Chains A and B, each alone.
Chain A
Amino acid sequence: MAGTKEQLVLLYDPARCTGCRYCELACSYKHYGVLDFGKARRHVIFDPEHVLFEAVQCGHCEEPVCASVCPTEALKKDEETGWVLINPMRCIGCRSCVVSCPAGVPWFDEELKVAVKCDFCDGDPWCAKYCSAQAIQVMPREEALELMRRIYGV
C-alpha cells in the first residue's frame, strides 16, 4: 500500500494558468462526452483583486469532510490510492457533501440525481493531460504540499 506521502494529487499553479479553461472542457468531455463548462468537475475562476486565476478542484483530502458526513458511506477515501470517490449506486442525493466541502467541490447532478466530484480519471487526470501551460500537474502529496507552501507562502 502506498503511503499517504506518495499518493498522487493534483497541483494547480495559478502563476502558470492562462485561464483558457481547457481543463474544464477536458473534464466534461471525459465524464459526459460533451464540451460543457457547467458539467466540469473542476473550475477555474478569475480573482480580479490579485489578477490571478484560481482553481476549485478536489484535493482528495487526507481527512475528507465530504466522506465523514456521507450518511450512506457512498463517499469514501480509497486507502490504496488516496482518492476520494463517490459510489453513485449508493449515493441517495442528500447533498450533505455539497454543503460540507470547504472548497465547494462536489456538486449535485440534476440529471443523474447523485452528487459528483473529481474521480482522478482512474489515475490519468484529463485536466492535467490537456493543460497546455502545465499549470495542473500530478505529483505525490508531499511534493505538492511543499510547492503549495512555496506558492501561497504558508
Chain B
Amino acid sequence: MRAEEVAGKLREALGPKALRLETPTERRVFLTVAVEDLEDAVRAVLGLSREARFMTISAVDEGLDLELLYHVDVGGTVVTVRIKVPKEEMEVLDISHLAPAAEFIEREIRDLFGLEFVGLKPEKLYTPEGYEEKPLKKPMEGALPPQARPMAEALMGSACSVSVSRAVMRKRQDLGLPAMPPMAMAKPEALEEVRSLAEEVGFTERAGYDLEKKRLRYR
C-alpha cells in the first residue's frame, strides 16, 4: 500500500482528528493527532490492512514537550502516529491492548523519560528497582534564555517590552495625565492583535508561551 493511498484512508477514517497528514516519500506517512485521539489513530492505522504490524515507539524530549512516534508497518509503508505530550501532564494512554508488543517499549520509555502510561503494568523494564532517576529526561526548558524571559512575558502581556509600573502611573496622574499612556496595552483590540500575530509567526509555540495562563511554561 502506497503512502498516498494510506493517507487517504486515514483521512477518511479519522476526519478532523487527523490534525496533520504528511507523505514525505512514497512509503512514509506521518499522522499527527491530539494526545486524547491516540487510541483511535492507532486503531485506524492497525485496521488499514491485515498485514499491519506495530514496529516500535520513538520518544524525543523536546524540552517542553515529549514527542512520541508510534511506527506501524502497513504492507511496506511505514505509518508514524505522532503525538506531543506536554511535560506538565506527562501522561498518555497505554496501547498494549491494541498492540501487545508496545508494552516493552512503553515500559522502557517510562523508565528512561518518566512518562506515565495509563493502564500499563507497574513493573520496571530497564532501570533497577529503587533507581528513580530518569536518565533521558531533559530539563523543562524552552528556547528563551533566562534574561529574555521577563521581556517575553511583558511583551505578550502588555504588547510592550517594558511595562508601566504603578509608580509611573501615580506620577502621571500627579502631573494631570491619564494613568496609562496611549500605547498598545491600553487598547484590548491592539493587544489581541499582537497576541494573534505572535501565534501566527510561531513565537508562542517556539518560546513556549501559554496563551491561556498568560505566562511562559517554564521559569
Contact = CB atoms under 8 A, between A and B. Distances in A.
A73 interface: yes
A74 B80 CA distance: 14
B24 A89 contact: no
Q: A-side binding surface: helix, strand, loop or mixed?
A: loop
A63 interface: yes
A31 interface: no
Contacts of A63: 25
A32 to B, nearest CB: 23
B62 interface: yes
Interface in B191-205: none
Given A71-B69, A71-B80, A94 B28 contact: no
A112 to B, nearest CB: 15
B71 interface: yes
B54 interface: no
Contact of B30 (A67, A73, A94): A73
Interface in B52-82: 56, 58-60, 62, 67, 69, 71, 80
A94 B59 CA distance: 11
Contacts of B62: 89-90
B60 A68 contact: no
Contact of B28 (A68, A72, A74, A92): A68
Contacts of B56: 71
Interface residues of A, number: 11
Interface in B1-58: 24-25, 27-28, 30, 56, 58
A84 B86 CA distance: 29
A71 B58 contact: yes
Contact of A72 (B24, B25, B27, B58): B58
Most buried by B among A73, A74, A92, A94: A73
Interface of B: 24-25, 27-28, 30, 56, 58-60, 62, 67, 69, 71, 80
24 contacts: A63-B25, A67-B24, A68-B24, A68-B25, A68-B27, A68-B28, A71-B56, A71-B58, A71-B69, A71-B71, A71-B80, A72-B58, A72-B60, A72-B67, A72-B69, A73-B30, A74-B60, A89-B62, A90-B60, A90-B62, A92-B58, A92-B59, A92-B60, A94-B58
Smallest CB-CB A-B distances: 6 pairs: A68-B25, A71-B58, A72-B60, A72-B58, A90-B60, A68-B28
